[in-house]
Structure 1
Amino acid sequence: MTGPLVSIVVPAHNEAAVIGANLRRLLEGTTPGEFDVIVVANACGDRTAEVAAEAGVRVLETSIPGKVPALRLGDEACRTFPRIYLDADVELTADSVRALVRACERPGVLACAPVPELDLARVGRLVRRVHRVHDRLIAPMRALAGVGVYVLTEAGHARVFPMPDVIADDGWVHASFGPDERVVVAEARSLVRPARTVKAHLNRRVRVRRGNRQLAGLQRAHAEGGPGLQRAHAEGGPGLGSLAALLRRREVSPVDAACYLSVLVLDRTLSRVRRDRAGWGSDLSTRSALSMD
């Protein structure tokens, strides 16, 4: 090899507990220099930077908090294309990385992502049922969002970067490409660790909804001739009809569906209260509550 096969940016904020094992898993079976891995430890108060350095990767430290600034900083240090942007708490193997790189060589592909698998081993019973239903609802439309990993070719990178200060970076990336330009790579898998409690799940849903509203604003700005997404493709989230279809096909149980709907009602109620306090936008329909995660 004359250079790395791929560059991988890993933004990390206080991830010392998991980043060492995830990096070792990522590099297992690779040859020296095959992957160009950059961990960006942003505003960390733990040993994230030290643990990452011990794993043998490049480490950048910054006092600036936030995932998007960390992504931009790591991106500037990359040595090659394609580029993978990997959440620090998500597990990705070397074989999956190679499959993603091969997918980027297909004609017309500008971005891709692996198939996510949920690690529910330490998740509470109720929220486990919620995750089970939610994952099946959004699976047909998820593509680059909610996977913990996305990959950009050089041409795809030119469309996405420099990335603006968005809440949902994966949503921004997903909406920047048409369905014929982004692919889900069946041979690649990412292991995602979802929220373990109902409280954590609800807090995540609030953030997701804020990110969706921000992206919708950028889409409107683009439609009006201002800066925004270059090729935004509006895609509605699944509704209650999709949940009914899962029940008919017996992909989820009635108990799973009941738990999901109970937490959804709580989610909508809390979001409405927080929206009123913070002056958020008004779209809190059932459809938006079921939107992409």
Structure 2
Amino acid sequence: MSTGDTASIGKGEGRAQSKRPPFSVIIPAHNEELVIARCLNAIVDGVAPEDLPEIIVAANGCSDRTVKTARETAPSAMVLDLPAGSKVIAMNTANTHATVTPRFFLDADVQCDYRSLLATAKVLKEPGVMAASPRLEMDLRGFDRWVRAYYRVWLTQPYVRDRLVGSGVFGLSAEGLETIGTIPPTFADDSWVRTRFSYEERRNVAQDECGGEVSFTVTPPRTVSDLVRIEARRRIGSEQVRVLYPSPHNGRINRPGDLRTALSDGASIADVVIYLSLKAVALLRYRWDKLRGKSPRWVRDEKARQAA
């Protein structure tokens, strides 16, 4: 891969390590000073130096203390200071520096510990497995009750439960990396990656070899308005992937009948109504912006970062 961007590289590039790292972790980070330490600490805390993974923080277009905080939190990590504020450029650039597979791409606002990544890395070494993620968990403490209702339903849907790859973390085997090549410019990098692989080539990992639970934790939008904005952005990304990057694996994921699963798993009828209503509002916002010719732009939840 070649992006043409230059980067300042942190001291971690030259770390001495006699033992080959068990996997790589690439963390794209744009102005993530509020969460980057939490993300890195989840990976490195309690891990012996010789067992540490190869970590590359791809700071991009940062005007805050992301680079400084990352270098202080994880001195063994390579920290790239890229001038362009682009997640995809950051991921592709970091990928040219990485030397180890399996390789994970991890959003800076996500928490995923070493044990969960290691368990998933072992699965990625199995024959035929191209892409994998740990099991997804949502941190909904202190959230708007409408948001909690929405996610009580969302977490039961096939997108989440049926070999999810994405929503903050995805790992690729050596063959998987070769298959995808360079990630194209898209608002939905995780959806693009997921749709490059068949169902049989993807895995979700819920337990390690000893039966211990493994997962990663996402903090979703905290309010209804933020949730609608983020959901509308997801629709932009989904359309980009469907139209610009077609794939035989890019089929419909969730169907109306899947809502029965939510009801059988503890969600109420009111939860389902709220879920469908917020989906509809997000769809209307997406279509209205498209009708007005409003240029798509990256949207993220700043309130969740401030709360962190």
Shorter chain as normaliser: what TM range?
A: 0.7 to 0.9
The one-letter code of the counterpart of 2:44 is L
Structure 1 counterpart SS, 2:251: coil
- 1:122 Cα shift? 3.4
The equivalent of 2:250 in structure 1 is 234
Out of 279, 293, 297, the residue aligned to residue 278 of structure 1 is: 293
SS at match of 1:76: helix
Go from structure 1 to structure 2 and tell me whether the alpha carbon gap of 1:218 and 1:141 turns closer, same or farther (over 3 Å shift): farther
Aligned pair partner of 2:244 in 214, 218, 243: 218
Q: Partners in 2 of 1:244 and 1:115 — Cα distance?
A: 22
- Counterpart position of 1:16: 33
TM-score normalised by L of structure 2 = 0.82
**TM-score (normalised: structure 1):** 0.86
Q: Compute the displacement of 1:245 (Å).
A: 4.4
The AA in structure 2 aligned to 1:190 is F
Matches within 5 A, 1:1-293: 2-33=19-50, 34-55=52-73, 56=75, 57-137=77-157, 138-141=159-162, 143-146=164-167, 148-187=168-207, 188-220=214-246, 229=247, 232-247=248-263, 249=264, 251-278=266-293
CA distance in 2, matches of 1:142, 1:198: 27
Mapped partners of 2:171, 2:215: distance in 1 = 13
Q: Distance in 1 between matches of 2:190 and 2:123?
A: 19
Over 3 Å counting, the alpha-carbon distance change for 1:101 and 1:43 in structure 2 is same
CA distance in 2, matches of 1:204, 1:166: 15
Report Cα offsets for 1:114-148 as digits up to 9, x if no partner. 111001113211111112211212323451132x1
Unaligned runs of 5+ in 1: 221-228, 281-293
Deviations 1:3-50 (A, max 9, x none): 111111000111111111221121012121521101011111210111
Equivalent in the alignment of 1:285: none
RMSD over equivalenced CA pairs, Å? 1.8
> What SS class does the counterpart of residue 114 from structure 1 fall into?
strand
**SS of residue paired to 2:49:** coil
Q: 1:246: how far off?
A: 2.6
CA deviation map 1:249-293 (0-9, x unaligned): 25211221222122223222222211211279xxxxxxxxxxxxx
- Percent sequence identity over aligned pairs: 32
Provide structure 2 residue ranges, at least 5 long, that are not aligned to the other structure.
Answer: 1-17, 208-213, 296-308
Deviations 1:84-135 (A, max 9, x none): 1100000011111110111012111111111110011132111111122112
